[in-house]
Amino acid sequence: MRAMTVVAMREEQGPVPLRLVAEMEAISAQYLEQIFMDLRRAKLVNGQRGAKGGYTLTRPAETITAGDVVRAVEGPIKLVDCDHDGGCLRVHVCATRELWNKVSESMRQVMDGATLLDLATWARAKN
């Protein structure tokens, strides 16, 4: 999320190289590469190779939500993995699952309610 915020803040000055993000956020470049791989596969960023290369967003910052970013790197936003839709053997499991589903839903709502533009704006406000 920090990496994407940096990209959102600086992409108008051209592609943002991974090395810059690594320095700004004190994250190892090699670890970041992995993360950008996920982001690229989820089509949230374009990677431009070669000198003067770097990453840019595939869409305007206000159309990419925090939820999109989380889903790209961590998969579906949910607290439980249960495919028995309906007839659970253990009844109490299902009762608690209903709770976890509600929690997951509210997490998604909050995360999908904040865009990269919001994050960039908040970040600038902190300066």
Partner DNA sequence: AGCATATCCGACAAATTTACTCGGGATTAC
Partner DNA sequence: GTAATCCCGAGTAAATTTGTCGGATATGCT
Query: What residues line the site for a second copy (CB under 8 A)?
Result: 1-2, 5-6, 9, 24-26, 66, 88, 90-96, 98-99, 102-103, 106-107, 109-111, 114, 119-120, 122-123, 126-127
Query: Which does residue 19 bind out of DNA, a second copy, none, counting CB within 5 to 8 angstroms by kind?
Result: DNA
Q: How far is the CB of 34 from DNA (least distance, A)?
A: 5
For residues 23 and 105, which CB has a smaller minimum distance to DNA in the complex?
23
Query: Which stretch, 45-53, 57-65, 87-95, 97-105, contacts DNA (CB under 7 A)?
Result: 45-53
Q: What is the DSSP letter of 100?
A: H
Q: Return the exposure string of 37-55: e unless at least 16 CB atoms fall within 10 Å of the residue's CB, then b.
A: ebbeeeebbeeeeeeeebb
Of 17, 42, 94, 100, which one interacts with DNA (CB under 7 A)?
A: 17
In a 10 Å sphere around its CB, with 0-12 CB exposed, 13-18 middle and 19+ buried, how is residue 6 labelled? buried
End-to-end, the C-alpha distance of the chain in Å comes to 18
